[in-house]
Amino acid sequence: MTSLSVYSAAAVVLAAGKGTRMKSARHKVLHRLAGKSMLWHVLTALRGAGIPPERTTIVIGDGAAPVRSEVERDFPDALYPFVLQEPQLGTGHAVLTARPAVPTDAETIVVAYGDTPLLRAETVTALLEQRARDDSNGIPVTLVTGVLENPQDLGRILRGTDGALQEIVEFRDASPEQRAVCEVNSGFCAFRAAWLWDALPRVQPARSGEIYLTSLAERAVSSGAGAGSLLLDQIGEAVGVNTRPQQAEAEQILRARIAAHLMAHGVTLQDPATTYLDASVEVGRDSVILAGTHLLGSTRIGADCEIGPNAYVRDSVVADGCRIFLSVVDGAELDRDVTVGPFAHLRPGARCGRGVEVGTGSEIKASTLGAGSKMHHFGYLGDAKLGVNVNVGAGTVTCNFDGERKHATRIGDGAFVGSGTLLVAPVSVGTRALTGAGSVVTKDVANGAKVAGVPARAIGARERPEARKDSTDGDDARPST
């Protein structure tokens, strides 16, 4: 019965409210929690419960074009129907506005709110299951309710002596005795579609001129059909976020959920309270995330990594066995066994091959470092491509910008770039070439050549390592690091 309800269900998401209590120029449902908008979390929950985008109608208000733009950007593979509610005359009016876009074969209509980022797919599924049970008993509406110690201004659920739901009383209309009731209406609900489309147009506007969806519960009760309910242990997940403090509370809950999910799947979090994880982040098994770490955006961390302490990683791909500590990695890709830190900065377009080491104060932008290459000390690589086993000495800078355009630097396999070298792009340093400390390289350096000076000039061929008793391969620290 549940699966049939899912396949025949459609959803209407109310996202037209401006959220004046947020005191923001940004539309309320676009405020972010765990890196994603409130609306993203709601749509993801509905999708996770089996209600696809094409059966989920989003109601937006005048001036809410950014809502549509962000949904289309966040879900590029989906085609969500949008309808404009103008004027905005209450929740019931919003659902009526959505009717032309709702699939005509829908037997169940779920109504959700775009400002409930804590909503989980499991709760949507539970509502569909309860709706199926209620429908088999002839009950046309199912509400999601819960008990709060401090219900504040939420609508109260009034029940009869037999426990049956009788009425929803809005806070402003409730008597002192009714306000003392702690069971509240979340607003999240589901209906038999045929009954909804027949009953909703008959609801009379309130004194404010608005049509309230909650009026349907009383109509169902007065008709003798009755109203069903799903009582949640944690009703907060279905209650809207209306203020900045509520947003902060919801953020903490989401972070705790994400942390619990990762730990259940084999990830160690040294201190979950000081670890900040976006909803879209992935972390592989046996990785360790140390205190003060931020993993944001579309970041993917492999297995057996150690990230942190105090690492900031955003929109990056980190393969197995990497270590990042006290550093910023933003828009970068790291192959296996890469080490970054401390105080390094990998900017968008940085690519590190297997076993690369990036150390103190090093900055890399739009550059590729081949496997085994090392940049242990402060310096800057921009628009550069390094081969394998390149040693970059302390203070090396690629001078890639001439004031108008960016230019590329190429460094061949096994090259040794001495400390303080300035590489004035466009320029190439050949395979196993060497630059002396403090060199200013303005012309290409041939394979195996050795250059030094300002500007750098050839001073001979680089000695092969096998010709020296004390030598190691070209990625050693001599002569300038």
What residues act catalytically? Answer: 377
- By C-alpha distance, which of 414, 354, 344 is closest to 381? 344
Phi, psi of 352 (to 5 degrees): -115, 125
d(CA 65, CA 78): 17
d(CA 323, CA 336): 10
d(CA 141, CA 125): 16
Phi, psi of 258 (to 5 degrees): -60, -45
Token pair listed for 333: 């890709």
d(CA 399, CA 169): 70
State the distance between the two ends of the chain, measured CA to CA, in whole angstroms.
71
d(CA 274, CA 258): 13
> Is there a contact between 335 and 317 (Cβ–Cβ < 8 Å)?
no
> Is there a contact between 390 and 370 (Cβ–Cβ < 8 Å)?
yes
Token pair listed for 456: 């750098």
Burial letters for 199-235: b for 16+ Cβ neighbours within 10 Å, e otherwise? bbeebeeeeeeebbbbbbbbbbbeeebbbbbbebeeb
> What distance lies between CA 215 and its chain's CA centroid?
37
For the CA atoms of 305, 311, 315, 320, the dihedral, rounded to the nearest 10 degrees, stands at -10
**CA atoms 27, 29, 31, 35: torsion sign:** negative
- Within 8 A by CB and 6+ apart from 85, the residues are 16, 59, 60, 61, 93, 94, 97
Q: Regarding beta strands 141-147 and 156-159, do their DSSP bridges make them parallel or antiparallel, or are they unpaired?
A: unpaired
